[in-house]
Amino acid sequence: MRLTVIGCSGSHPAPDSACSSYLVEHEGFRLVLDLGNGALGELQRHIDPRDIDALFLSHLHGDHWLDLVPLAHVRRHHPDGRVPPPLPVHAPSPERGRITGAFGGASLDDVFTFRSPADTELGPFAISLIRTLHPVETHAVRVEAAARTLVYTADTGWFPELAAFAQGADLLLAEAGFVDGADNPSGLHLTATQAGELAKAANVARLVVTHVAPWHDAEVQAQKAAAAFGGPTDLARRGATFDV
């Protein structure tokens, strides 16, 4: 499978990146993990947004889903008249009113088919989930195809079961929203060192550090994560691709 970083900025868009969004492709199937604000712009450099086959929203904080609003517009109103079938959107149900609220409560049935998060198969991908430690319902996702595995932490504070969930992944896409040594609130984000420790505990082959807010130094976050991991570590950047 191939991973393309559509957006990797945490909390709000950066000058050089949209918020969280990742395109995962295998055998022509296009799975998008999160669609944060600004992501629809970069996504068009890679695919026609009408050609997304499934969308997984890890949680309903704005930096992970807000570009669902312009996505509905593109899928409904593109002037060439090609209207795709409703897009399956896997999203937590307790806070789903945030989405419908953004559309003034109007029906979205013509563009989206909402499904509650669950272990499932999406095209060629076997999907398994674990609830993370975050203020709203949030799921990390394990994506498997052709004996290869990608794990995306979504947003999460540290909890030990996450290492078992990510065990043996070929690529771990781990958030590092917090810097080490700061007065960080618990149950919200991983520090860079925790992201590296997670990669080490899970024995992953490769770590990609993401979800660094623009007010932090992403290079430093990647260096700290790499030091804690001791294995191949990359910093997620807009448009970067990884063959998993």
**Which residues lie near Zn ion (CB under 5 A)?**
61, 155
| Alpha-carbon span 221 to 178, nearest angstrom | 9
Please tell me the chain's helix, strand, coil percentages from 3-state DSSP, rounded to the nearest 5: 25, 30, 45
Q: Which is nearer to Zn ion, 61 or 75 (CB)?
A: 61
Q: Which is nearer to Zn ion, 138 or 149 (CB)?
A: 138
Distance in Å, CB of 60 to Zn ion, minimum: 9
Q: Which is nearer to Zn ion, 61 or 139 (CB)?
A: 61
Q: Which is nearer to Zn ion, 19 or 23 (CB)?
A: 19
Residue identified by tokens 């563009």 is 111
Q: Which is nearer to Zn ion, 155 or 234 (CB)?
A: 155
Question: Quick one: which H or E segment has residue 25?
Answer: strand 21-26
| Alpha-carbon span 197 to 210, nearest angstrom | 15
Distance in Å, CB of 61 to Zn ion, minimum: 4
| Alpha-carbon span 186 to 140, nearest angstrom | 18
Q: Which is nearer to Zn ion, 61 or 224 (CB)?
A: 61
Distance in Å, CB of 155 to Zn ion, minimum: 4
Distance in Å, CB of 63 to Zn ion, minimum: 7
CA atoms within 13 A on the CB side of 14: 21
Distance in Å, CB of 11 to Zn ion, minimum: 8
Distance in Å, CB of 100 to Zn ion, minimum: 19
| Alpha-carbon span 198 to 204, nearest angstrom | 9
- 148-152 sheet: strands from edge to edge: 120-122, 125-131, 139-145, 148-152, 171-175, 207-210, 233-235
Tell me if residue 175 falls in helix, strand or coil. strand
Instruction: Encode burial over 62-82: b for 16+ CB neighbours within 10 A, e otherwise.
Output: ebbbbbbebbbebbeeeeeee
Q: Which is nearer to Zn ion, 146 or 215 (CB)?
A: 215
Contact 209, 180 (CB under 8 A): no
Distance in Å, CB of 136 to Zn ion, minimum: 7
